[in-house]
Structure 1
Amino acid sequence: MNWALYAWASWLIPLMGALLTPLLARLGEKIRDYGAVAFSFLGMLMALNLLPLLFEEVKWPLTSQVSWLLIPGAPILSEVKAGILLDPLSIIMANIVAVVSFLIMVYSIGYMRGDPGLTRYWFFMNFFIANMLLLVLADNLILMLVGWEGVGLCSYALIGYWYQDSEEGWLHYWVGEPPEAYPPSHCGMKAFLVTRFGDLLMIAGILIVASLTKTVSFADLMSVGASARANLSWLLPIALILILAGAVGKSAQLPLMEWLPDAMAGPSSVSALIHAATMVKAGVYLVARIFPIALSWSAVIPSTLSFFYVVMWIGALTAFIAASQAVASTELKKVLAYSTVSQIGYMMMALGAGGLTANIIEGYI
């Protein structure tokens, strides 16, 4: 069960580092700075220890659960367990997050040196790493939602990191040019509101799935499509599309894409970690995680294939429109942001097309 220890520790250690940051700050600036990086390093080591599982004879998925929420007498979800799910997808994604996060934390030591708000910076960076790893490793939709909202909170706080909004700083971190420039705090609020809209739809989708299938576990959802109440089974494809809305907001896809270019108002290290390498891939990861669930449901509920069509067309349109906006943009960081949105659109399009292709191939084999 060593793998369970490594999996739990990979996100709990950065969380511990975030909570201890104010205490380390009282001991000295260098202790605070190098301590914050050390916690992300330990989290990375825990994640790297999961890689050997990819080369062993393992019956996937591996799960480790503890009792979390007990609601006696509840018609649905009377018990929700907090669990870790390991399979090749989650292991590879967790290692990408952990390794990239550690490298950017090391870079931050020099890039952010001398900034007066570094205690707040290190807290939210480690808190983000913990929540992102929780999102990736969660074995059910409720626990994933906890990590999902956690990374959204960190994104809001770090986009508006320079919240003073001094006019003297517009050359460094304001978006646009006077008289139409706007400060980082406005950019953070824009990102928060846009992504929260997608998250509300996602929560609605999760509630529909839970009420119809009586479970939120990814492993269990694979086989419950046929057992959903027949007269309401048509709601399951709608629920998947509502969950997709959360992915669309988090990964800055059409029509919720315009927050990401403005998110570059935060420090460059934040843009590199959250808004280029990890958090904006969370939506793609969510679609990949529910991909086999939607595919299995399509065998008994053919209308579920509409989910893959929606994913494919959203990705295709986003890739084209964002690339066109990058061509017309005059700010370097905005060009990079639109390029990120466009590339994520390709990923979404590939997942959507993959679902449709898998269904077609299955029909001929």
Structure 2
Amino acid sequence: MSIEIKKELFSEGQKQTLTVSVQALAEALQKISLAMLEDYVKKNSLFELKYFKNAKSIQEVLHHAFLDGKLTSLAADSAAPLTSFCEYQLANYDGEEKEKEKFLQFISQVKPVFHCIDRGISFDRSKMDLPSFEEYIKNNPINLPEKTILNISESLDDYQIELIHEVTQELIQHFSLDEFGVLHMENALFHVQYYLNNKLLPRKVQKKLKKFAFRYFLQMLRDSFYYLDLKKVDRIINDLLRDFCYEVDCMYLFEEYMGKEKNYPRKIFASYKAYKLFDDVAKKITSRRWICFLFRKMHEKDSLIYVKDTEFRNWFNAQEYAVQLENHTDTYIDSYSEVRISTMELLYKCYGLS
């Protein structure tokens, strides 16, 4: 992959055009020693430096950019995005002493990022522990044509390759993934969603297939970021997972997954969805009888609330709801009304509980 960047470096309007062959540099560095790094880069013209015509090394380019405050935009593209470059600079820096501390501090800070970029550039799926979807599905029998399974497997492999590529590019350009999201993977799910929404498959088979694909996709995301040695990526994983479920038409799987991940009173409620419904209604209703009916139906009729009256009221009164339940809740029969039962049936559908 090659990147061509045009940057305005100084207020006078002088510009630099820089062409970087990251893949070529990565392959070259696997064959040479650190001591030969700068000399090799210059001799093989891996960097075309039109602005810094007299630059003697990548280090000098980086140093100028650092002093000019342009490292976040320039260094990620111009410097070899490789751990070995950082190690070489830390061991062999010979610039001006007064700038040495700041420059080496910068190199130390970006070394972990360059390490992740290194991993992305040299990505080889065959070296990962993650099996292909085709292998995974063999251990989870499902009645599908072999060609369909192969198509899904290949499309998921392609998605992972593109994900690694896009993440690596983002790190090269910005040194972080703060702005990385689903827009970077636009259209990457086109083939995945096509094969998973095969209209010729029976509905039950398709639903089962999507469940397996969801689990696999989630683990593939986790494995990809683990391979790159990137941490604190829950936000990105959840965004990409939501995008997958939206495209594949299985948002119920995402909501179920997020419900398990979210914090809610598990001793009281059977699921996050049940808690979410109750909490949303309780925050808006000031009728004691409505709250009683809500509790009785969810507890006695649908087993969505585990605990009985006393324990439920102790929990309920500790919340900040408008109503307080000082005495025993009304029975199901006493709190029942046609309007309430119709409303509850509609709410169950809206919250995915029916």
TM-score (norm 1): 0.32
The structure with higher relative contact order (CA 8 Å, sep 6+) is: 1
Structure with max Cα Rg: 2
Instruction: Return the TM-score normalized by structure 2.
Output: 0.33
**Structure number having the greater helix percentage:** 1
